[in-house]
């Protein structure tokens, strides 16, 4: 038991140590432009230790950037759920609807955010100042909604016939069947979709900010690449990773609650 606890702590640390060592060796040998771990820390220190400071539009504490990014993600993600869940229900309920839209969904699903974003910018060109935000939201929503759509559809199709028979015997109205039977029975699947969607939404944010130049972790990363401050690229990568991990854990906890229910 004790040994197990120790392993759980030590083994991941070994992993971290190995990767940092590889990073160090690389920066010292074949990748001369790659900042070493210590240089990275030196250059990032201000951003990490004063995480909420605002020195300029593109020079802010890392958590402040993260906060901007999260806000944008939240909006795009919310859009994805609001649009994706009903589509998932329609797909799950109607074979005709599935036959009409499934092929197009399968074709649109693998399209990369880098491809969607320019289209988003074109779509909202008339919106003036908020064009870049709307374009980014469009991209996040359209890229991240597929897991929600597909998992919801699978969940609806998996609702046990027994439950539907109960609804039929009781002559529940359509709305009552939806809210009292279908939605509760589908919730566990929906939340799996929601979790996967959030992961994608967070993945897309970087691409969106890079191309639109909006302040945020992704925008900062791209700016610092252009400004040759390579240390900050690594800072941003680590930040994106930690935040993404945290979001996934959070969603797992929520998902787990609905699994048992």
Partner 1 sequence: MSHQLEISALSKTFPTPHGPLVVVRDFNLHLEKGEFVCLIGHSGCGKSTVLSMVAGLSEPDDNAGGIILAGRELSGPGPDRGVVFQSPSLLPWLTAFDNVLLGVDQVFYTASAGERRQIAEYYLTVVGLGDALHKRPTELSQGMRQRVGIARAFALSPRMLLLDEPFGMLDSLTRMELQQVLVDLWTRNHLTALMVTHDVDEALFLADRIVMMTNGPEATVGDILKVPFPRPRDRKALLEDPEFYRLRAELIEFLEVRAYTLKGQQPPAPKPPVPPNSPAASSYTPPRQDRAVLPTQVETLA
Token pair 């374009």 is found at 135
Beta strands in the chain, from DSSP E residues, in sequence order: 54-56, 59-60
> How far is CA 203 from its chain centroid?
5
Among 83, 105, 154, 184, which residue sits at the site for partner 1 (rule: CB under 8 A)?
Answer: 184
Q: Which stretch binds partner 1 (CB under 8 A): 29-37, 54-62, 183-191, 204-212?
A: 183-191
Other CB atoms within 10 Å distance of the CB of residue 115: 12
Q: Which residues of 25-34 are buried (b: 16+ CB within 10 A; e: fewer)?
A: eebeeeeeeb
| Binding status of residue 170 toward partner 1 by CB under 8 A | yes
For 72, which DSSP code? H
**CA separation for the pair 91, 156 (Å, rounded):** 9
| Binding status of residue 180 toward partner 1 by CB under 8 A | yes
Q: Which stretch binds partner 1 (CB under 8 A): 53-61, 117-125, 177-185, 205-213?
A: 177-185
Among 3, 32, 171, 174, which residue sits at the site for partner 1 (rule: CB under 8 A)?
Answer: 171
Q: Which stretch binds partner 1 (CB under 8 A): 99-107, 128-136, 181-189, 214-222?
A: 181-189
| Binding status of residue 3 toward partner 1 by CB under 8 A | no
| Binding status of residue 169 toward partner 1 by CB under 8 A | yes
| Binding status of residue 244 toward partner 1 by CB under 8 A | no
| Binding status of residue 181 toward partner 1 by CB under 8 A | yes
Query: What sign results for the dihedral spanned by CA atoms 164, 169, 170, 175?
Result: positive
| Binding status of residue 104 toward partner 1 by CB under 8 A | no
């Amino acid at each position: 038991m004790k040994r197990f606890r120790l392993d759980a702590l030590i083994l991941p640390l070994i992993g971290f140590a190995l990767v940092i060592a590889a990073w160090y060796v690389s920066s010292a040998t074949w990748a001369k432009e790659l900042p070493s771990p210590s240089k990275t820390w030196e250059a990032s220190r201000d951003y990490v230790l004063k995480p909420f400071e605002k020195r300029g539009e593109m020079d802010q504490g890392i958590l402040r950037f993260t906060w901007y990014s999260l806000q944008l993600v939240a909006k795009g993600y919310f859009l994805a759920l609001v649009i994706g869940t009903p589509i998932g229900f329609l797909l799950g309920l109607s074979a005709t609807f599935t036959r009409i839209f499934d092929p197009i969904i399968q074709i649109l699903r693998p399209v990369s955010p880098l491809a969607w974003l320019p289209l988003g910018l074109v779509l909202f060109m008339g919106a003036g100042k908020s064009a870049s935000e709307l374009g980014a939201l469009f991209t996040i929503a359209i890229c991240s909604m597929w897991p929600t759509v597909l998992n919801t559809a699978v969940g609806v199709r998996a609702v046990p016939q027994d439950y539907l028979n109960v609804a039929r015997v009781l002559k529940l109205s359509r709305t009552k069947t939806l809210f009292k039977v279908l939605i509760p029975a589908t919730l566990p699947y929906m939340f799996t979709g929601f979790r996967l969607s959030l992961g994608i939404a967070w993945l897309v944010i970087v691409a969106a900010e890079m191309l639109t130049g909006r302040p945020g972790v992704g925008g900062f990363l791209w700016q610092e690449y252009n400004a040759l401050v390579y240390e900050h690229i690594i800072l941003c990568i680590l930040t994106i990773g930690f935040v993404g991990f945290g979001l996934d854990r959070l969603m797992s906890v929520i998902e787990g609650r609905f699994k048992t229910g």
